[in-house]
Structure 1
């Protein structure tokens, strides 16, 4: 009989709850384009430019949020992020001038993204290394559960009042911030104990960490492949005579799989090394998206979605764990910020490159995506041994920091 898993720390569950609350109330991002065109009378192109500012603000937010999490502390960064998000959302719902709407969309994107590096760094601070896979899997499940709930409610509530959506989103952001303010202690060890941090690094030190940047590069390839679901996939389905609702159902099936099956993933993947688990995940990505070039009907697209969603479910927990394992205690926020940039970069590269290859290669585009997935899978296998050595080195450094903290507090 296997031993019962250890109970996860209270601070983890509070941050987990705050994430679930904020994601479940995350209506505005979902309906923003429709709101700008239907309620504010903007053209689709102008609305697209404004919504794009959310991503630009987010790219800056993950970097600044990472620095603040390491220098000021995890807790004040999370609380400030939630508070600014609430103010920006409440203000956005009242604005009519497109210029000011654009400004506050960027501010909201910045504040919303700044929460992530601090939140995940705080979780990593309080989790034992052996509990990280299970805990980050629960985090990924909560995020998807919240986003699924927001997707279902946003369209329904928008029929009654767009203004209500802005107020509800602001309210959930504020609630998440208050929950962290009242119930989460500061988790950054040297801020809590008064000891000097072992690492006083800069962003350039993250870029110079070859093992970590190799991992980030592989995650970028994963994100590039995954981003096809929001960029070239709808083009392929339209070309095959399928409707927008068919596309929505295909994506919904993936969300339902994650919500229904994500919690059993650690039982299947913990028997493998991180490198092997990530390589397997990328193999599923490659197979799922690569097969799109071979199908034409709705059923075929559903099968492809099932395959790539299995890869997505397998990749999320070890990705988060590797970041926690490789990042020094005092630089964890910045390491997380650099990791988060991969999603912004992929969100730009996928439509820019994918649109070109899809236009000129047709179904051959999916062979290119298959090759990218296979390349990333092989990269994880090759980079795995060096990553394991770096993980052990970071663990030794962390034990030194703990010893220093105990001497200060003794």
Structure 2
């Protein structure tokens, strides 16, 4: 496949490890069930604990790139994997008060790993092929998450939920061992240093790239909307006579379309202006939720998921690659952390905000989701006009940055 050939071998090996790690990362899918079941906690207490863990995950995504830029992305990946793996393996044995403290730390370490994975792909794939690189990474992750949940259900049914934590922790430690073996430990002598104390700070780098903050703000808004499919959407469907089986098939449709189309789409659109592709993707997310405004018929629900999935295919890979292409070599990790934090912010924001609005005024939820995603898409399309530190004259925010030198996986390994 042309997309795979555009990705260096080291990155393909890393993506195989990401697939394996995603397969065993089923703990947090069943965390709420575990807390309200074997742990005997109330729904409210379980929600608070889950929310605290989500905050840890977002914080890890936001700060993991700083560790990578300063100490090496390989070191950040290995340290985060070891900490996360050890904590997950013992989580089921901890008393509830200790669990409340250990869970966000485990999630924080997982966020560091997520940011390090993105940074390693960003520096390991040459500028011009990064969309394909991130598409391969997302394919590996989505394929793993497709296999993981039913596998976790089998483990919980045949043994216990405690074994989910043990399997997840052991798998994460195996991923760390695998990554330590396949990722190069040292960079070439001529490579760009990961940390340069004389380099401009992050705020200055963002000021000269104004399209990047606009994109990040748009991603926060659309992630709040996008993740309603995991919180208020199943409640909405249930309230209109569609049970969990319908919802399960809709999520399966989402996964199937992504696995079939994302890699070909990344290859086919590799020459298109990135912000144009991202903006159209965000508009499709808004259109999807607008389709629920007329009612909750099965046809509208399927149309929602198709539109949402096509929008995701357009914006997620392209936005990640755009941020990587805009990042200077000394701040690649921090740029990826900013994007990673923005792209997962809805995990913390979507359930409480969407749930509160659906409880207070259910008829307003989907129109507001559609408007918010639509405005985010229009903002990204407008950001194409913004200047940046680019070559080729007055090319605007959708242009390609100057080619990077020394920005390779070996340089970032630390």
Alignment map for 1:350-361 (pairs within 5 Å): 350-361=350-361
Shift of residue 46, structure 1, vs aligned partner: 1.5
Partner of 1:105: 103
Encode CA deviations 1:310-368: one digit per residue, 9 max, x unaligned. Answer: 11111121011111011111111111112222245333433344334434543333222
CA–CA separation in structure 1 for the residues paired with 2:205 and 2:44: 37
Is this contact kept in 2: 1:237–1:243, CA < 8 A?
A: yes
CA–CA separation in structure 1 for the residues paired with 2:187 and 2:109: 20
Partner of 1:42: 41
Partner of 1:229: 229
Alignment map for 1:385-404 (pairs within 5 Å): 385-386=385-386, 389-392=388-391, 395-396=401-402, 398-399=404-405
Encode CA deviations 1:194-246: one digit per residue, 9 max, x unaligned. Answer: 69738645454466453321110111122122022123212321221222332
Partner of 1:122: 120
Alignment map for 1:149-298 (pairs within 5 Å): 149-161=147-159, 162-186=161-185, 197=196, 200-205=199-204, 208=207, 210-298=210-298
Is this contact kept in 1: 2:279–2:381, CA < 8 A?
A: yes
CA–CA separation in structure 2 for the residues paired with 1:318 and 1:187: 29
CA–CA separation in structure 2 for the residues paired with 1:396 and 1:190: 22
The 3 A distance-change label for structure 1 pair 5 and 228 is: closer
Is this contact kept in 2: 1:198–1:330, CA < 8 A?
A: no
The 3 A distance-change label for structure 1 pair 340 and 5 is: closer
Alignment map for 1:301-380 (pairs within 5 Å): 301-380=301-380
Is this contact kept in 1: 2:211–2:384, CA < 8 A?
A: no
CA–CA separation in structure 2 for the residues paired with 1:376 and 1:335: 20
Is this contact kept in 2: 1:206–1:335, CA < 8 A?
A: no
Structure that is richer in helix per residue: 1
| DSSP 3-state at the match of 1:94 | coil
Alignment map for 1:76-87 (pairs within 5 Å): 76-87=75-86
TM-score relative to the length of structure 2: 0.88
CA–CA separation in structure 2 for the residues paired with 1:37 and 1:5: 43
The 3 A distance-change label for structure 1 pair 357 and 90 is: closer
Shift of residue 136, structure 1, vs aligned partner: 0.8
Computed over aligned residues only, the root mean square deviation of the Cα atoms, in angstroms, reads 2.8
Shift of residue 77, structure 1, vs aligned partner: 0.6
Q: Does 302-311 or 202-211 show the bigger shift?
A: 202-211
Gaps of 5+ in 1: none
Encode CA deviations 1:235-291: one digit per residue, 9 max, x unaligned. Answer: 321221222332222222211221232222124423521122112212211111111
Q: Does 344-353 or 193-202 show the bigger shift?
A: 193-202
Partner of 2:9: 10
Paired residues, what number? 400
Partner of 2:32: 33
Shift of residue 386, structure 1, vs aligned partner: 2.6
The 3 A distance-change label for structure 1 pair 255 and 169 is: same
Shift of residue 44, structure 1, vs aligned partner: 1.9
Shift of residue 89, structure 1, vs aligned partner: 0.9
CA–CA separation in structure 1 for the residues paired with 2:89 and 2:2: 48
CA–CA separation in structure 2 for the residues paired with 1:164 and 1:191: 47
| DSSP 3-state at the match of 1:49 | helix
Shift of residue 395, structure 1, vs aligned partner: 4.1
The 3 A distance-change label for structure 1 pair 180 and 391 is: farther
The 3 A distance-change label for structure 1 pair 349 and 196 is: closer
Higher relative contact order at CA 8 Å, sep ≥6: structure 1 or structure 2? Answer: 2
